[in-house]
Amino acid sequence: MKILYYLLICLTIGGFTACTEFDEEKTTQIEVEEFPDQESWNAKMYFTKDGKKRAILESGYIAKYSKKNITLLKDGMQVDFFDSEGNHKSRLTSEEGKVFDGKQDMVAIKNVVVKSDNGNHLYCEELHWNNGDQKIISYVPVMITTDNDTLYGDSMISDPDLHNYEVTNAHGSSQKKISLDE
């Protein structure tokens, strides 16, 4: 009787474990898609145009997703922009961002600040870098400060050194004197 009881318990336990289906291929595929192909900490990326350095990006954490063709930037980021001669023009900082690897375009997100070497500063919450046009673009409200001006707007487009910029629905204050006679 003990042998029959023991056999019944073994078959019951075996039956429960045999009913569990495990699809290793599906599980592995889901996990692979969630993880980046490459990760870097405290790393630099170089952006070029026609073989010349145009920007250097540094970030606390970089995660590259090759299938999605994007690179995510976390734990703070900094981008130094250079002109076609290789001269430093401005520095962008933000909390995080995303690089679209195919075109080397970028989006900076959260507490975005651009400080140009000419003294102009830009503040916003999201800023796009168009590598092909070599322009920075914001589709959200911005504040631009110069030595004499504070300008607010709904959006803007500029060269990376904030020398030539266009602001939509601009308003603010200025200490510049302009001639009304012309």
Q: Which helix (H) or strand (E) holds 6?
A: helix 2-18
| Within a domain: 100 | yes
Beta-sheet strands, E only, within 30-170: 38-49, 52-65, 70-82, 88-94, 96-100, 105-116, 121-130, 135-138, 142-145, 149-153, 155-158, 165-168
154-163 in b/e form (b: 16+ CB < 10 A) is eebbbbbbbe
Query: In the predicted model, is pLDDT for residue 84 greater than 80?
Result: yes
| Within a domain: 7 | no
Give which of 106, 39, 48, 105 is closest to 75, Cα–Cα.
39
Cα 46 from Cα 56, distance rounded (Å): 5
Domain containing 99: what range? 38-134
CA 88 centroid distance within chain: 21
pTM, to two decimals: 0.74
Cα 171 from Cα 161, distance rounded (Å): 21
| CATH classification of the domain holding 92 | 2.60.450.10
| Within a domain: 4 | no
pLDDT band at 1 (very low <50, low <70, confident <90, very high): low
Query: In the predicted model, is pLDDT for residue 112 greater than 90?
Result: yes
| Within a domain: 155 | no
pLDDT band at 114 (very low <50, low <70, confident <90, very high): very high
pLDDT band at 59 (very low <50, low <70, confident <90, very high): very high
Pick the range with the lowest mean pLDDT from 109-118, 143-152, 173-182: 173-182
In the chain, the number of structural domains is 1
| Within a domain: 27 | no
| Within a domain: 52 | yes
| Within a domain: 13 | no
Share of the chain above pLDDT 90, in %: 45
pLDDT band at 102 (very low <50, low <70, confident <90, very high): confident
pLDDT at 13: 57
Query: In the predicted model, is pLDDT for residue 35 greater than 60?
Result: yes
CB within 8 Å of 148: residues ≥ 6 apart: 174, 175, 176
pLDDT at 33: 57
Phi, psi (deg, nearest 5) at residue 137:
-135, 135
**Mean pLDDT, residues 81-87 taken together:** 86
Contact 96, 112 (CB under 8 A): no
32-51 in b/e form (b: 16+ CB < 10 A) is eeeeeeeeeeeeebebeeee
| Within a domain: 166 | no
Contact 90, 164 (CB under 8 A): no
Query: In the predicted model, is pLDDT for residue 65 greater than 70?
Result: yes
